Amino acid sequence: MNKFRHEVSIEILVGLFMFTVLIALGIFTVVLSHDSIWKKSYEYEFVFTEVSGLREGDNIYLRGMSIGRVNQTSLHNNNVSVFVTLDVPLNLRNGYTIEVVNASMLGGKFLKIYEGPENAPALSQNITILGSAPVDVIEELSEAVNGLQEMINAVSEGQGTLGKLLNDDSIYNDFVEISQDVKLIVKGVEAGEGTIGKLLKDEAVYTNASVVIANLREISERLESGEGTLGKLMAKDGEVYADISTSIASVRSIAESINAGEGTLGKLVRDAKLYDETALLVEDVRAAVDDLREASPITSFGSVMFGAF
Amino acid sequence: MLVEAIWFMQFAFGKRSKHETVTQFYITGIKSLGVITVVALFTGMILALQTGLELRRYGQEVYIGSAVAVSMIREMGPFMTGLIISASVGSAIAAQIGTMTVSEEISALEVMSINPNRFLVMPRLVALVVMMPILSVYTNILGIMGGALVGTTQLGVSVQAYMDNATQFATNKDLYVGLFKAFLFGIVITTVSCHQGFMTTEGAVGVGRATRSSVIISFLTILVVGYMVTRMFYL
């Protein structure tokens, strides 16, 4: 009886142990499959021209959140079909992008989904979802390094402004000369030479300037107190201004009378008859003068001849 | 011997063999749990500490979870289980069968028309090929727990972060390739130990030699088979 009980207890123990471990294996399998048994999942197919080493099990990110994994990748005609399972449905809009991105500099890839601008029209669920061509960071870095190397080489060879600055001695010499010139100028100024030097060093300039300022102040004070012609013009009582205004009004009145042909001056200006008579008078005077000029030699000769007798 | 034992596996839970098979399950599985628990726990702790200290130099100690889980599931779990079982169970099989051989018990069985492969090899083979993957799962779990213990107490990695990382990089392929390795190691240990037992000569000295040889050959074969399986599935 004891032997039988011992055998049964061994069997139970072995059975329990195996059962427990098999349950653990089941849990392990579910956890490592990365599938959500209780959650609804959504399957999609993305079509790429190239996937740059994207593999089964790689993560998929939407707005920085992991939302699923790559199930399978397969070559299809000239493209690569990437089958994915997502935890959330995709609402793609015009302008969406799906990129294969490097997970780190050491390797690894993930899919980055951008659903498109907020205000863009939504796309139908039945469209073929196209992925963007992957960006090879290493290649881009290598190109940048090559560019940098070329730039350094060009600078080393003295090409361009930077190259000349670093390699051409004449620029340095010019700088030395300029600094020497500046030094000389500063020395001259310090010694009180030239206008700036005198401005800085000569006390007389300061004194003169003070006197000029004092004079200006005195003039301004006199103007303010209404002294002299300019002072009266600027006086606050407005007497001179009123006189000038009255005079201008009188001149305007005279000018209007002349313009209207009133008085002698008005007639002179406006009456055409007086102009014509004056013109005829001038012509008569000119003719009389011409006659006199022509008769002058004969008159002179007659005077001389008859004067002798 | 192996082919014949595999043929007899269909009778493993028959009326005549059931008791011996269950006993071998008990010896292989339950009686090895103590040593496997300690070895698995400390293997995980050592892995976590060593990788964690290196990763800490780069501020990446949070990744010890993935390092420990992938190492344990892919390689260390089946390998450590294989070494322990070959050293404890395999050596016992070689010693037992070796003693039976030198005392001519095997010959007596044959005289009684009892096939030694069915009576001795088959129950051990069934027990090892079934128990090795199961013990390997147990080793994996304890190894990962040991890593978590070191991660949380020594390296300041939270249990949640450790477990997230541990499950992020390990896959079912890693788990089942590891279990396949453990299954093959079971076949290797049984075959080597039983063969060494049956080949024992020269009395007690021969038994000792057979035991030693079975452990050494099992160790080496486990290493080679482990490499071959890894190469087959990952290259």
Kindly report which listed range (A48-57, A112-121, A135-144, B17-26) carries the lowest average pLDDT score.
A135-144
Instruction: Give the residue-averaged pLDDT of A255-265.
Output: 83
Q: How far is B43 from chain A (nearest CA, A)?
A: 19
What is d(CA A257, CA A269) in angstroms, rounded to the nearest whole number?
A: 11
CB-based burial, B30-39: b 16+ in 10 Å, e otherwise: bebeeebeeb
Contact A32 B140 (CB under 8 A): no
Phi and psi torsions of A37, nearest 5°: -65, -40
* Interface residue A33 vs chain B (CB under 8 A): yes
Contact B30 A14 (CB under 8 A): yes
| CA dihedral of B78, B80, B81, B86, whole degrees rounded to 10 | 120
Q: In chain B, whose CA is at the least distance from the CA of A30?
A: B172
Residue-level pLDDT at B235: 81
Q: In chain B, whose CA is at the least distance from the CA of A56?
A: B171
Q: Which two tokens stand for residue A69?
A: 């994994």
Contact A29 B174 (CB under 8 A): no
Residue-level pLDDT at A121: 87
* Interface residue B145 vs chain A (CB under 8 A): no
**DSSP readout, A133-160?**
PPP-HHHHHHHHHHHHHHHHHHHHTT-H
What is d(CA B36, CA B84) in angstroms, rounded to the nearest whole number?
A: 7
**Number of residues assigned to chain A:** 309
* Interface residue A16 vs chain B (CB under 8 A): no
Instruction: Give the residue-averaged pLDDT of B204-225.
Output: 93
Side-chain half-sphere exposure of B181, counting CA atoms within 13 A: 33
pLDDT of residue A240 exceeding 80: no
Instruction: Give the residue-averaged pLDDT of A292-309.
Output: 75
Average pLDDT over chain A reads 83
* Interface residue A211 vs chain B (CB under 8 A): no
Residue-level pLDDT at A36: 66
* Interface residue A32 vs chain B (CB under 8 A): yes
What is d(CA A29, CA A37) in angstroms, rounded to the nearest whole number?
A: 12
ipTM of the complex: 0.74
Average pLDDT over chain B reads 89
* Interface residue A252 vs chain B (CB under 8 A): no
pLDDT digit string (tens) for B104-161?
888 898 888 888 888 888 889 999 999 999 999 999 999 999 999 998 888 888 888 8
Residue-level pLDDT at B134: 92
DSSP state of A96: -
What is d(CA A59, CA B164) in angstroms, rounded to the nearest whole number?
A: 14
Angle at A110 between CA A105 and CA A111, to 5 degrees: 135
Residue-level pLDDT at B193: 93
Q: Give SS3 for A77.
A: coil
Decide which of A133 and B81 is more confident: B81
Which residue has 């452990």 as its token pair? Answer: B215
Decide which of A229 and A118 is more confident: A118
> Which amino acid does the sequence have at B179?
L
Decide which of A38 and A246 is more confident: A246
Kindly report which listed range (A4-18, A79-93, B66-80) carries the lowest average pLDDT score.
A4-18
- Give the strand pairing for A109-114 and A59-62: parallel
Q: Which two tokens stand for residue A108?
A: 């690894």
